[in-house]
Structure 1
Amino acid sequence: MSTDTPQTSHLSATAVTELIDASFPQIHASGRVMEIESVGHDIARVRMRLSEHNTRHGGTISGPAMFTVADFSIYVALIGRLGSAAIPSVTSNLNITFLTRPPARDVIAEARLVRVGRRLAYAEVALYSEGSSELIAHATGTYALVSSIPKA
C-alpha cells in the first residue's frame, strides 16, 4: 500500500462510532440504520440495516441508499486510520457500479483504503446483501483530506 502520510494508531469501531455521533449526527436522521461492524488496518465494514427509507417498491434496496453506505464506509475507514483529523474530510468523487438487483436485506459494505496521501485518499468498496457472497455493487471513491473547513 502506497502512503504519503505517517501511520497513526487505528481506532476501534466503538471509537469511530463515538466520533461520528459527535461530529456527524445527521447520518442517523432516519434512525440508526448505519452500524459500524469493524474497523481495521485501512479497512472498515459497515452494515446498512434494512428499513423503509432504503427500499424501493418491488422489494429491493434503492441505488441512493447503496451509494450512501459506500460513501459512509470510506469515511469510517478514514476516521479509523486518521482519527479526528479525518472529520472535516469530504467526498470529492464516488463512482458506483450496480451489478445485480439486491434483495430487501441488510447491505454490507467493505471498504479498503487503497492510497492515503497528504491531500487525497482513494478507496474501493464491495457491497453485498446479508448472507450472500455475491457482489451487488462495487464503488471507488476519493476523499479530499482537509485540515479545516473554510468559514462562509
Structure 2
Amino acid sequence: MQPIMTVAEINRFLETDFPQLGGKDGGYLVVDVAPGTAVLRLLAGSQHLRPGGTVSGPTLFALADVAAYVAILAHIGPVALAVTTNLSINFLRKPEPGALFGRARILKLGKRLAVVEVAITPDDEADTVAHAVATYSIPPRPTDATDLPGTLIP
C-alpha cells in the first residue's frame, strides 16, 4: 500500500487540525512515510518527564497513538475523525529524554478499521523502549451529496 500524503502534508494537517499537539514546538514531527509505515519523532524534554528524570508513560502512550494515526492518515488522506478504539502498550525499558521515534507499521487497513503496530525507540534504534498495537475506527466517506451530514434525502 502506497502513502497518498507526504511528510509535509501530514505535518501541516497536524498543525492546523490538532494544534493541541503543539507541532514542532510540542516536540512532534513526522519524519518519514513509506509504503505501510510512518515515523513520528518526539523531542522529549522536561515537560515529558516524570519524577526520576525518565520519559513518562503518558508521553509514550501519546507518541504511540499519534504515530499510529499518522501512518493511517498517510495512507487514507486527511480524515480528522478517524479515532482510536483500542491501544495496548508494553513499556519495555526506561527511556531517557531526547529524541524518541514512534515507528508505525500498518498491519491491516480496511474500509472501517485499521490496526497498527508501533515500536518506540531512541535515536539510535538500539533498543525498543515501548511497543504498542492500536486499532482505529475509520469513518465512512461521503460518496455523494446525499451522504453529507445535514443533507435531506428526498
- TM-score, scaled to structure 1: 0.86
Which 4+ stretches in 1 moved above 4 angstroms? none
Preserved contact between residue 10 and residue 40 of structure 1 (Cα < 8 Å): no
**Structure 1 CA distance for aligned equivalents of residues 2 and 93 of structure 2:** 37
Change (3 A) 1:103 1:8: closer
From the CA coordinates, give the structure whose radius of gyration is larger: 2
Which residue of structure 1 aligns with residue 36 of structure 2?
42
Which residue of structure 1 aligns with residue 127 of structure 2?
134
Aligned residues with identical type, % of pairs: 30
1:33 pairs with one of 9, 21, 27 = 27
How far apart are 1:31 and its partner, in Å?
3.1
Change (3 A) 1:37 1:29: closer
Which residue of structure 1 aligns with residue 80 of structure 2?
87
How far apart are 1:8 and its partner, in Å?
6.6
- TM-score, scaled to structure 2: 0.85
Could you tell me which amino acid in structure 2 is paired with residue 51 of structure 1?
Answer: G
Could you tell me which amino acid in structure 1 is paired with residue 107 of structure 2?
Answer: V
Which residue of structure 2 aligns with residue 54 of structure 1?
48
Preserved contact between residue 111 and residue 140 of structure 2 (Cα < 8 Å): no
Larger relative contact order (Cα-Cα within 8 Å, sequence gap ≥ 6):
1
Q: Unpaired segments of 5 or more residues in structure 1?
A: 1-6
How far apart are 1:40 and its partner, in Å?
1.3
Q: Unpaired segments of 5 or more residues in structure 2?
A: 142-148
Preserved contact between residue 35 and residue 48 of structure 1 (Cα < 8 Å): yes
| 2:68 paired with 1:74 | yes
Preserved contact between residue 115 and residue 122 of structure 1 (Cα < 8 Å): yes
How far apart are 1:9 and its partner, in Å?
5.2
Change (3 A) 1:43 1:132: closer
1:116 pairs with one of 93, 109, 117 = 109
- What number of residue pairs does the alignment pair up? 143
**Structure 1 CA distance for aligned equivalents of residues 24 and 68 of structure 2:** 20
How far apart are 1:132 and its partner, in Å?
4.0
**Structure 1 CA distance for aligned equivalents of residues 49 and 24 of structure 2:** 13
How far apart are 1:30 and its partner, in Å?
9.5
Preserved contact between residue 44 and residue 97 of structure 2 (Cα < 8 Å): yes
